[in-house]
Structure 1
Amino acid sequence: MKFIAALGLMGAMVSAGSAGELLRPRVNLGTANVKTISGDRGGYVIDYAIRALKLQRSGGFVRFNGACDSACTLYLSMPRSKMCVTRNASFGFHLPYGAGARGNQVAANFMMKNYPGWVRGWIAKRGGLKNSIATMTYADASRFLPTCPSAQRLTIASLSPTRLRGG
Protein backbone atom coordinates (compact mmCIF):
# COMPACT_ATOMS: atom_id res chain seq x y z
CA MET A 1 0.00 0.00 0.00
CA LYS A 2 2.88 2.38 0.72
CA PHE A 3 4.18 1.73 -2.80
CA ILE A 4 0.86 2.74 -4.38
CA ALA A 5 0.53 5.86 -2.21
CA ALA A 6 4.13 6.89 -2.95
CA LEU A 7 3.57 6.55 -6.71
CA GLY A 8 0.42 8.67 -6.47
CA LEU A 9 2.26 11.43 -4.61
CA MET A 10 5.21 11.29 -7.03
CA GLY A 11 2.83 11.55 -10.00
CA ALA A 12 1.30 14.74 -8.70
CA MET A 13 4.72 16.31 -8.05
CA VAL A 14 6.31 15.31 -11.38
CA SER A 15 3.30 16.33 -13.49
CA ALA A 16 2.83 19.71 -11.83
CA GLY A 17 6.51 20.62 -12.04
CA SER A 18 7.09 19.75 -15.69
CA ALA A 19 4.01 21.09 -17.47
CA GLY A 20 5.23 24.62 -18.17
CA GLU A 21 8.81 23.67 -18.98
CA LEU A 22 7.77 21.39 -21.86
CA LEU A 23 6.91 24.42 -23.95
CA ARG A 24 10.48 25.81 -23.97
CA PRO A 25 12.84 23.27 -25.61
CA ARG A 26 16.50 24.40 -25.55
CA VAL A 27 19.76 22.73 -24.76
CA ASN A 28 22.07 24.16 -22.14
CA LEU A 29 24.82 21.84 -21.02
CA GLY A 30 26.47 24.65 -19.07
CA THR A 31 24.90 23.36 -15.88
CA ALA A 32 27.18 21.55 -13.46
CA ASN A 33 24.51 18.92 -12.74
CA VAL A 34 24.50 16.82 -15.94
CA LYS A 35 23.52 13.17 -15.66
CA THR A 36 24.67 11.06 -18.59
CA ILE A 37 22.67 7.89 -19.09
CA SER A 38 24.15 4.97 -20.97
CA GLY A 39 23.45 1.30 -20.42
CA ASP A 40 20.83 1.82 -17.70
CA ARG A 41 18.61 -1.28 -17.50
CA GLY A 42 16.15 0.30 -15.05
CA GLY A 43 14.90 -0.95 -11.71
CA TYR A 44 12.14 -0.02 -9.31
CA VAL A 45 9.68 2.54 -10.68
CA ILE A 46 9.51 4.45 -7.38
CA ASP A 47 13.32 4.75 -7.24
CA TYR A 48 13.50 6.23 -10.73
CA ALA A 49 10.54 8.53 -10.10
CA ILE A 50 12.39 9.94 -7.10
CA ARG A 51 15.68 10.25 -9.01
CA ALA A 52 14.02 12.09 -11.88
CA LEU A 53 12.17 14.43 -9.52
CA LYS A 54 15.33 15.20 -7.52
CA LEU A 55 17.31 15.91 -10.69
CA GLN A 56 14.51 18.11 -12.03
CA ARG A 57 14.22 20.08 -8.77
CA SER A 58 17.99 20.61 -8.64
CA GLY A 59 17.92 22.13 -12.12
CA GLY A 60 19.83 19.15 -13.49
CA PHE A 61 20.11 18.06 -17.09
CA VAL A 62 19.92 14.58 -18.64
CA ARG A 63 22.15 13.56 -21.54
CA PHE A 64 20.94 10.27 -23.04
CA ASN A 65 23.99 8.63 -24.60
CA GLY A 66 23.00 4.96 -24.71
CA ALA A 67 20.31 2.56 -23.59
CA CYS A 68 17.76 3.78 -21.05
CA ASP A 69 15.40 0.90 -20.43
CA SER A 70 12.43 0.13 -18.24
CA ALA A 71 12.03 2.47 -15.23
CA CYS A 72 14.97 4.58 -16.48
CA THR A 73 12.57 5.97 -19.08
CA LEU A 74 10.93 8.00 -16.29
CA TYR A 75 13.70 10.55 -16.88
CA LEU A 76 11.65 11.40 -19.99
CA SER A 77 9.11 12.99 -17.61
CA MET A 78 11.57 15.85 -17.05
CA PRO A 79 11.16 19.10 -18.98
CA ARG A 80 12.25 18.79 -22.60
CA SER A 81 14.54 21.78 -22.12
CA LYS A 82 16.50 19.70 -19.59
CA MET A 83 17.22 16.73 -21.88
CA CYS A 84 19.13 15.90 -25.02
CA VAL A 85 19.90 12.72 -26.98
CA THR A 86 22.99 11.52 -28.80
CA ARG A 87 22.96 9.18 -31.79
CA ASN A 88 23.64 6.30 -29.35
CA ALA A 89 20.46 6.91 -27.33
CA SER A 90 17.65 4.37 -27.16
CA PHE A 91 14.71 3.81 -24.83
CA GLY A 92 13.16 0.46 -23.91
CA PHE A 93 9.53 0.33 -22.77
CA HIS A 94 7.62 -2.61 -21.25
CA LEU A 95 4.99 -3.39 -18.65
CA PRO A 96 6.27 -3.17 -15.07
CA TYR A 97 6.56 -6.44 -13.17
CA GLY A 98 7.54 -7.72 -9.75
CA ALA A 99 5.13 -5.75 -7.54
CA GLY A 100 2.11 -8.05 -7.79
CA ALA A 101 -0.83 -7.55 -10.15
CA ARG A 102 -2.18 -4.41 -8.45
CA GLY A 103 1.24 -2.84 -7.90
CA ASN A 104 2.26 -3.53 -11.50
CA GLN A 105 -0.92 -1.86 -12.79
CA VAL A 106 -0.38 1.17 -10.55
CA ALA A 107 3.23 1.43 -11.74
CA ALA A 108 2.17 1.17 -15.41
CA ASN A 109 -0.49 3.86 -14.92
CA PHE A 110 2.01 6.08 -13.12
CA MET A 111 4.55 5.76 -15.93
CA MET A 112 2.02 6.44 -18.68
CA LYS A 113 0.62 9.44 -16.80
CA ASN A 114 4.06 10.97 -16.39
CA TYR A 115 5.45 10.34 -19.86
CA PRO A 116 5.09 13.31 -22.19
CA GLY A 117 2.45 13.04 -24.91
CA TRP A 118 4.95 12.17 -27.64
CA VAL A 119 6.13 9.12 -25.65
CA ARG A 120 2.57 8.01 -24.90
CA GLY A 121 1.76 8.36 -28.61
CA TRP A 122 4.81 6.33 -29.63
CA ILE A 123 3.85 3.57 -27.17
CA ALA A 124 0.20 3.62 -28.30
CA LYS A 125 1.23 3.18 -31.96
CA ARG A 126 2.95 -0.04 -30.92
CA GLY A 127 -0.08 -1.41 -29.11
CA GLY A 128 0.66 -0.10 -25.62
CA LEU A 129 3.02 -1.39 -22.96
CA LYS A 130 3.58 -5.14 -23.24
CA ASN A 131 5.65 -7.80 -21.51
CA SER A 132 8.24 -7.57 -24.29
CA ILE A 133 10.45 -4.52 -24.73
CA ALA A 134 9.67 -1.99 -27.47
CA THR A 135 12.77 0.04 -28.31
CA MET A 136 12.63 3.67 -29.36
CA THR A 137 15.78 4.63 -31.25
CA TYR A 138 17.51 7.98 -31.69
CA ALA A 139 15.64 8.43 -34.99
CA ASP A 140 12.30 8.61 -33.17
CA ALA A 141 13.50 10.35 -30.01
CA SER A 142 15.35 13.09 -31.91
CA ARG A 143 12.08 14.18 -33.51
CA PHE A 144 11.00 15.37 -30.04
CA LEU A 145 14.20 15.95 -28.07
CA PRO A 146 17.16 18.12 -29.05
CA THR A 147 20.34 16.40 -30.12
CA CYS A 148 23.16 16.93 -27.65
CA PRO A 149 25.95 19.18 -28.81
CA SER A 150 29.12 17.24 -29.50
CA ALA A 151 32.15 17.85 -27.29
CA GLN A 152 34.01 19.23 -30.31
CA ARG A 153 31.28 21.78 -31.08
CA LEU A 154 31.13 22.80 -27.43
CA THR A 155 34.88 23.42 -27.41
CA ILE A 156 34.82 25.42 -30.64
CA ALA A 157 31.74 27.39 -29.57
CA SER A 158 33.34 28.28 -26.26
CA LEU A 159 36.39 29.85 -27.88
CA SER A 160 36.28 33.62 -27.98
CA PRO A 161 36.62 35.41 -31.34
CA THR A 162 39.96 36.85 -30.24
CA ARG A 163 41.38 33.37 -29.63
CA LEU A 164 40.22 32.31 -33.08
CA ARG A 165 42.05 35.31 -34.64
CA GLY A 166 45.17 34.59 -32.66
CA GLY A 167 44.89 37.71 -30.48
Structure 2
Amino acid sequence: MRRVTFYSALLLASALFASAPAKAEIRIIQSPGGQVGPFLDLFEKVRASGERVVIDGPCLSACTLVLSIVPGERICVTRRAVLGFHAARSVDRHGRFYAEPEASEAVLEAYPGPVRDWIARRGGLTSRLLLLRGRDLAAIYPRCR
Protein backbone atom coordinates (compact mmCIF):
# COMPACT_ATOMS: atom_id res chain seq x y z
CA MET A 1 0.00 0.00 0.00
CA ARG A 2 1.39 3.39 -0.97
CA ARG A 3 0.66 6.49 1.02
CA VAL A 4 0.97 10.23 0.53
CA THR A 5 1.82 12.09 3.69
CA PHE A 6 0.68 15.58 4.54
CA TYR A 7 4.33 16.61 4.65
CA SER A 8 4.90 15.37 1.08
CA ALA A 9 1.84 17.20 -0.18
CA LEU A 10 2.90 20.36 1.63
CA LEU A 11 6.38 20.20 0.11
CA LEU A 12 4.91 19.63 -3.31
CA ALA A 13 2.46 22.49 -2.98
CA SER A 14 4.63 25.14 -1.36
CA ALA A 15 8.37 24.73 -0.86
CA LEU A 16 8.88 22.50 -3.85
CA PHE A 17 8.03 24.96 -6.59
CA ALA A 18 8.03 28.71 -6.87
CA SER A 19 5.96 30.03 -9.73
CA ALA A 20 6.50 33.33 -11.49
CA PRO A 21 3.35 33.81 -13.61
CA ALA A 22 4.59 37.03 -15.21
CA LYS A 23 7.43 35.09 -16.80
CA ALA A 24 5.30 31.99 -17.47
CA GLU A 25 7.70 29.61 -15.79
CA ILE A 26 7.79 27.03 -13.05
CA ARG A 27 10.96 27.07 -10.96
CA ILE A 28 12.06 23.90 -9.20
CA ILE A 29 14.07 25.12 -6.24
CA GLN A 30 14.31 21.99 -4.09
CA SER A 31 12.62 18.63 -4.42
CA PRO A 32 13.61 15.47 -2.56
CA GLY A 33 11.14 13.49 -4.69
CA GLY A 34 8.33 11.44 -3.20
CA GLN A 35 5.30 9.60 -4.47
CA VAL A 36 5.23 9.37 -8.26
CA GLY A 37 1.51 10.08 -8.73
CA PRO A 38 1.47 13.72 -7.58
CA PHE A 39 4.52 14.50 -9.71
CA LEU A 40 2.94 12.95 -12.80
CA ASP A 41 -0.23 14.99 -12.24
CA LEU A 42 1.69 18.21 -11.67
CA PHE A 43 4.00 17.81 -14.67
CA GLU A 44 1.07 16.93 -16.95
CA LYS A 45 -0.52 20.25 -15.93
CA VAL A 46 2.76 22.08 -16.53
CA ARG A 47 3.07 20.48 -19.98
CA ALA A 48 -0.48 21.51 -20.85
CA SER A 49 0.10 25.06 -19.58
CA GLY A 50 2.95 25.75 -22.00
CA GLU A 51 5.06 27.12 -19.16
CA ARG A 52 8.83 26.80 -19.13
CA VAL A 53 10.50 24.79 -16.34
CA VAL A 54 13.58 26.24 -14.67
CA ILE A 55 15.50 23.68 -12.63
CA ASP A 56 17.24 25.84 -10.04
CA GLY A 57 18.26 23.39 -7.32
CA PRO A 58 18.01 19.71 -6.44
CA CYS A 59 15.38 17.77 -8.40
CA LEU A 60 15.68 14.25 -7.08
CA SER A 61 13.95 10.95 -7.65
CA ALA A 62 10.30 11.39 -8.77
CA CYS A 63 10.98 15.06 -9.55
CA THR A 64 13.13 13.96 -12.51
CA LEU A 65 9.95 12.76 -14.22
CA VAL A 66 9.68 16.35 -15.44
CA LEU A 67 12.24 15.34 -18.08
CA SER A 68 9.86 12.69 -19.41
CA ILE A 69 6.72 14.80 -19.47
CA VAL A 70 7.61 18.42 -20.25
CA PRO A 71 9.17 18.93 -23.71
CA GLY A 72 12.94 19.36 -23.49
CA GLU A 73 12.87 22.69 -25.32
CA ARG A 74 10.87 24.08 -22.39
CA ILE A 75 13.38 22.99 -19.74
CA CYS A 76 16.49 24.92 -18.72
CA VAL A 77 18.92 24.57 -15.82
CA THR A 78 20.83 26.98 -13.59
CA ARG A 79 24.26 26.43 -12.05
CA ARG A 80 22.51 25.20 -8.88
CA ALA A 81 20.57 22.47 -10.73
CA VAL A 82 21.15 18.85 -9.74
CA LEU A 83 19.15 15.89 -11.04
CA GLY A 84 19.16 12.73 -8.92
CA PHE A 85 18.23 9.32 -10.34
CA HIS A 86 17.79 5.89 -8.74
CA ALA A 87 15.86 2.68 -9.36
CA ALA A 88 12.15 2.72 -8.64
CA ARG A 89 11.10 1.43 -5.25
CA SER A 90 7.97 1.21 -3.18
CA VAL A 91 7.29 1.18 0.53
CA ASP A 92 5.06 -1.42 2.13
CA ARG A 93 2.71 -0.72 5.03
CA HIS A 94 5.51 -1.59 7.48
CA GLY A 95 7.82 1.06 6.04
CA ARG A 96 10.09 -1.41 4.22
CA PHE A 97 11.41 -0.53 0.78
CA TYR A 98 11.35 -3.01 -2.06
CA ALA A 99 12.62 -2.81 -5.64
CA GLU A 100 10.29 -2.25 -8.59
CA PRO A 101 12.39 -3.45 -11.59
CA GLU A 102 9.59 -3.12 -14.16
CA ALA A 103 8.85 0.43 -13.03
CA SER A 104 12.57 1.26 -13.19
CA GLU A 105 12.73 0.05 -16.78
CA ALA A 106 9.62 2.04 -17.74
CA VAL A 107 10.98 5.22 -16.15
CA LEU A 108 14.37 4.78 -17.81
CA GLU A 109 12.74 4.31 -21.22
CA ALA A 110 10.67 7.46 -20.73
CA TYR A 111 13.71 9.69 -20.13
CA PRO A 112 15.14 11.51 -23.16
CA GLY A 113 17.94 9.67 -24.98
CA PRO A 114 20.85 11.78 -23.68
CA VAL A 115 19.67 11.27 -20.09
CA ARG A 116 19.28 7.49 -20.64
CA ASP A 117 22.78 7.38 -22.13
CA TRP A 118 24.26 9.31 -19.18
CA ILE A 119 22.59 6.90 -16.74
CA ALA A 120 23.77 3.86 -18.72
CA ARG A 121 27.38 5.11 -18.68
CA ARG A 122 27.15 5.13 -14.88
CA GLY A 123 25.85 1.59 -14.53
CA GLY A 124 22.10 2.14 -14.92
CA LEU A 125 19.42 2.73 -12.34
CA THR A 126 20.25 1.06 -9.02
CA SER A 127 19.57 1.84 -5.37
CA ARG A 128 22.55 4.23 -5.53
CA LEU A 129 21.68 7.87 -6.27
CA LEU A 130 23.25 9.16 -9.50
CA LEU A 131 23.70 12.95 -9.57
CA LEU A 132 23.67 14.76 -12.92
CA ARG A 133 24.98 18.30 -12.60
CA GLY A 134 27.52 20.81 -13.85
CA ARG A 135 28.98 20.34 -17.31
CA ASP A 136 27.28 16.98 -17.84
CA LEU A 137 23.88 18.54 -17.19
CA ALA A 138 24.63 21.65 -19.27
CA ALA A 139 25.57 19.38 -22.18
CA ILE A 140 22.01 18.00 -22.17
CA TYR A 141 19.86 21.00 -21.15
CA PRO A 142 20.58 24.67 -21.84
CA ARG A 143 21.47 27.11 -19.11
CA CYS A 144 18.62 29.44 -18.21
CA ARG A 145 18.99 33.06 -19.32
TM range (shorter): 0.7 to 0.9
Question: Gaps (5+ residues) in structure 1?
Answer: 1-28, 150-167
Cα 1:44–1:30, aligned 2, differ >3 Å: closer, same or farther?
closer
Q: Is the Cα–Cα contact under 8 Å of residues 45 and 107 in structure 1 kept in the other structure?
A: no
Q: TM-score, normalised by structure 2?
A: 0.74
- What is the CA distance between 1:70 and its match in structure 2? 0.3
The counterpart of 1:133, out of the listed 105, 124, 129, is: 129
User: How many residue pairs get matched?
Assistant: 121
User: Counterpart of 1:139 in structure 2: which amino acid?
Assistant: R
- What is the CA distance between 1:32 and its match in structure 2? 4.3
- What is the CA distance between 1:30 and its match in structure 2? 9.0
Cα 1:140–1:76, aligned 2, differ >3 Å: closer, same or farther?
same
Higher normalized strand content (fraction of residues):
2
- What is the CA distance between 1:31 and its match in structure 2? 6.8
Q: Is the Cα–Cα contact under 8 Å of residues 31 and 60 in structure 1 kept in the other structure?
A: no
Q: CA RMSD in A?
A: 2.3
Question: Gaps (5+ residues) in structure 2?
Answer: 1-19
- 2:99 and 2:89 map into 1 onto residues whose CA distance is 8
The counterpart of 1:76, out of the listed 46, 58, 67, is: 67
Q: Is the Cα–Cα contact under 8 Å of residues 31 and 61 in structure 1 kept in the other structure?
A: no
- Please name the residue that 2:108 is paired with: 112
Which entry has the higher C-alpha Rg, 1 or 2? Answer: 1
Cα 1:74–1:31, aligned 2, differ >3 Å: closer, same or farther?
farther
- 2:100 and 2:41 map into 1 onto residues whose CA distance is 17
Structure with bigger RCO (C-alpha 8 Å, 6+ apart): 1
- Please name the residue that 1:39 is paired with: 30
- What is the CA distance between 1:110 and its match in structure 2? 2.6
Amino-acid identity (%)? 35
Higher normalized helix content (fraction of residues):
1
- 1:32 and 1:57 map into 2 onto residues whose CA distance is 16
SS in 1 for 2:80: coil
